[in-house]
Amino acid sequence: MDATRISELLFGRACRLPIALWILGSQKDRFYQSEPPESLAARTAIRQELERLAEVGLVYKETPDHENRVYYVRTTSPLWEVIRVAAEVIEQLDR
């Protein structure tokens, strides 16, 4: 995947980083699609962003048999380091 596509997937919308930060800060590696709080974005936007984060490899999607829920699982992608650094910079700016 080239840098342009990674940039588009990681930084294309204002709600993408807050959703990624929520995933990174979560105590669980696996969560269902409706768990991220609506204070981050509208439900539809959250679903769209989770799909984009899956496309870039930060999470993967699970749909267990006989369940209507869609789950996402955080991966060990090295791209999470970009999100960690962004969180650190934001924290420094907030001081």
User: Where do the structural domains in the chain lie, given as residue ranges?
Assistant: 3-93
Specify the pTM: 0.86
Kindly state the average pLDDT of the residues 70-88.
95
> What are the tens digits of pLDDT across the range 15-66?
899 999 999 999 999 999 999 999 988 999 999 999 999 999 999 999 887 7
Domain 3-93 in this protein, CATH class: mainly alpha
Give Cα separations from 42 to 11, 31, 37, 48, 78 (angstroms). 17, 17, 9, 10, 28
Residues 76 and 26: their CA atoms lie apart, in Å, by 14
Predicted local confidence at residue 91, as pLDDT: 84
Predicted local confidence at residue 71, as pLDDT: 94
pLDDT at 80 over 70: yes
